[in-house]
Amino acid sequence: PLAGSAGVTKVFTPTQEDYQKVYNEIAARLEEKDDYDDGSYGPVLVRLAWHASGTYDKETGTGGSNGATMRFAPEGGHGANAGLVSARDFLEPVKAKYPWISYSDLWILAGVCAIQEMQGPIISFRPGRADKDIAACTPDGRLPDASQGNKHLRDIFYRMGFNDQEIVALSGAHALGRCHTTRSGFEGPWTFSPTVVTNEYYKLLLSETWQWKKWNGPKQLEDKKTKSLMMLPTDMALVSDKSFKQYVDKYAKDEELFFKDFSAVVTKLFELGVPFAETTEKIIFKPTNV
């Protein structure tokens, strides 16, 4: 080697403006690729960021968004992750254009971008996640099973370090998107506006009469009036359990409170187990649609 050439490999240190460029690229793709589901990849991007994060186990410090181990077959193939390949593929051109960002940061940044671009609250973002190899894949069964009830929800979310209020605030994400028979086996959206962040999920939980859907698929509920909306057994646990229901009542009445609590709890979810450097600053991305 040439004398003096060792150690001069150029390391690109991204600035907040560089991260905003990635944000803008994702926002532009969301706008452009509107021929998916209800007109937006936003919901499935939020689900990707949630499933990357929700494997966290506070006892062992394993799982969480640091690693992006869903890229590998064992974890990508878990039943809970069915369909998320469409979200990962949506982000590939962004990764190709900005190769300096890790998949782990990209997936979380995309979740933040999707929430903000779907008119949700501002979600602060800190970069610093590093991709791990296949050995860091988490075992199957860490994400919630929709066919279960309140005890299961507590087992799963307490393992990540959340309390009852936070479980209910996180569940408001089901204002977004839909179930697909080809993915989870369930079918249909939770709200009439599945590409906009609102507190409609809580309002509908309380205002509608929910009855079991008569079909050959897994047990789910439908609204008696239009039969076009759905709730999962785990969604109904939020109104049948008294400790959960007090927060459903609050968020149904007060969208501003929901936005504030949702922003805080989503940031906590997205940062579970991430070893940020002490100097890492919070980034507040500017939405493109205001």
> Residues 228, 234, 238, CA angle at the centre, nearest 5°?
95
248 binds ligand ZEM (CB under 6 A): no
CB-closest chain residue to ligand ZEM: 177
- Tell me, residue by residue from 206 to 225, as one string, x for binding to ligand ZEM by CB under 6 A and - for no binding: --------------------
Binding region for ligand ZEM (CB under 6 A) out of 4-12, 62-70, 132-140, 175-183: 175-183
272 binds ligand ZEM (CB under 6 A): no
Would you say 125 and 113 are in contact if contact means Cβ atoms under 8 Å apart? no
3-state secondary structure of 37: coil
Would you say 270 and 110 are in contact if contact means Cβ atoms under 8 Å apart? no
Taking every pair of C-alpha atoms in the chain, what is the biggest distance, in angstroms?
Answer: 78
Residues in region 7-66 near ligand ZEM by CB under 6 A: 43-44, 46-47, 50
Binding region for ligand ZEM (CB under 6 A) out of 17-25, 94-102, 172-180, 206-214: 172-180
Would you say 165 and 261 are in contact if contact means Cβ atoms under 8 Å apart? yes
Would you say 93 and 32 are in contact if contact means Cβ atoms under 8 Å apart? no
Q: How many residues does the chain have?
A: 290
199 binds ligand ZEM (CB under 6 A): no
Question: How many angstroms separate the first and last alpha carbons of the chain?
Answer: 53
Residue among 47 and 71 whose Cβ is closer to ligand ZEM: 47
- Amino acid in the structure at residue 89: D
Residues in region 88-147 near ligand ZEM by CB under 6 A: 144, 146
188 binds ligand ZEM (CB under 6 A): no
In which residue are the tokens 């803008």 written? 24
180 binds ligand ZEM (CB under 6 A): yes
Question: Given the rule CB under 6 A, which residues bind ligand ZEM?
Answer: 43-44, 46-47, 50, 83, 144, 146, 153, 170-171, 173-174, 176-180, 183-184, 186, 232, 234, 266
